[in-house]
Amino acid sequence: MEDCRKYFLCRFSFIHHLFGTKIISSTLKIHPNSLYRWIQEYEKYGESAFPGHGSALRHAQFETKKLEKEHKLLQEELALLKKFQVFLKPNWK
């Protein structure tokens, strides 16, 4: 699998430099924007840009961001409850 991927990447970069993205996308019947995005992701993330079947890396990043957002919301709720805790205490004078 690893050899096949390296062979494909070398071959794609050679063909990409010869023909350009628009010709390749029309030949493969892929929208040019998809091909541009894949190229940018590969340049940014390298080999980890396409982990097997699906986007496991991006799914993990999505889950992390979701949990961070939920954590921030819970912290804000806790801070608000602490501020109003004074009003809930009975007066024992």
Q: pLDDT (tens digit, 9 = 90+) per residue, 29-45?
A: 888 888 888 888 878 87
- Asked which of 21-25, 32-36, 48-52 is least confident by mean pLDDT, the reply is 48-52
Among residues 48, 20, 47, 45, which one has the least CA distance to residue 35?
20
- In this structure, the answer to whether residues 15 and 36 fall within a common structural domain is yes
Together in a domain, 60 and 43: no
Distance CA 16, CA 19 (A): 6
Judge whether 11 and 26 are in contact, CB under 8 Å. Answer: no
| Whether residues 5 and 33 fall in one domain | yes
pLDDT at 73 over 70: yes
Confidence band, pLDDT 50/70/90 cuts, at residue 14: low
Q: Which residue has the tokens 């190229």?
A: 39
For residue 90, give its domain range.
56-93
Measured CA to CA, the distance from residue 82 to residue 80 in angstroms comes to 5
Residue 1 pLDDT? 47
Same domain (yes/no): 4, 40: yes
Examine the domain organization and report whether 45 and 74 are in the same domain.
no
My answer on whether 1 and 46 are in the same domain is yes
The amino acid sitting at 22 is K
For the residues 9-25, what does the mean pLDDT come to?
70
